Structure 1
Amino acid sequence: MPEKPRLLPVDEADLQEKTLASLAPYRDQDGRIYAIWATLAHHEDALRRYLVFSNHVLGKNTLPLTSRELMILRIAARAQAAYEWDQHVRIARRAGLADETILAAATGAWEGLDELDRVLLTATDSLVESQNIDDELWDRLSAHLSTEQVIDVLYTVGQYLTVATVINTLGVRTEGDLALPLPALDASKEVPA
Structure 2
Amino acid sequence: MSSTPRIPPVTPGTRAELATIEARIDKARGRISPLYQVLLNSPPVVDGWEAMLTAIRLNTSVSPALREMTILRVAVLNHAPYEFDAHVVHARQAGIDDALIEQLRHEVPPDSIDGIERVDTHARDVLRLVDAMTRDIEVPDAIFDPLHARFGPTVTLELVATVAAYNMVSRFLVALRIGH
TM-score when scaled to structure 2? 0.86
Tell me which moved more, 1-10 or 95-104: 1-10
- Equivalent position amino acid for 1:137 in 2: I
Shift of 1:148: 0.7
- What is the distance in 2 between the residues matched to 1:77 and 1:103? 11
Match of 1:20 in 2: 22
Match of 1:112 in 2: 115
CA contact (8 A) 2:148 2:156 kept: yes
SS in 2 for 1:13: coil
CA contact (8 A) 1:26 1:34 kept: no
CA contact (8 A) 1:73 1:85 kept: yes
Q: Which has the higher helix share?
A: 2
Q: Please tell me whether residue 134 in structure 1 is matched to residue 140 in structure 2.
A: yes
- Equivalent position amino acid for 1:50 in 2: W
Q: Structure 1 residues 37, 26: CA separation in 2 closer, same or farther (over 3 Å shift)?
A: farther
Match of 2:83 in 1: 84
TM-score when scaled to structure 1? 0.81
Q: Please tell me whether residue 62 in structure 1 is matched to residue 77 in structure 2.
A: no
Match of 1:46 in 2: 45
Which consecutive residues of structure 1, in runs of 5 or more, have no partner in the other structure?
A: 175-193
SS in 2 for 1:12: coil
Match of 1:177 in 2: none
Alignment size in residue pairs = 171
- What is the distance in 2 between the residues matched to 1:95 and 1:111? 18
Superposed CA RMSD = 1.7
Which consecutive residues of structure 2, in runs of 5 or more, have no partner in the other structure?
A: none
Moved beyond 6 Å, runs of 4+: none
Shift of 1:139: 1.6
- What is the distance in 2 between the residues matched to 1:4 and 1:166? 14
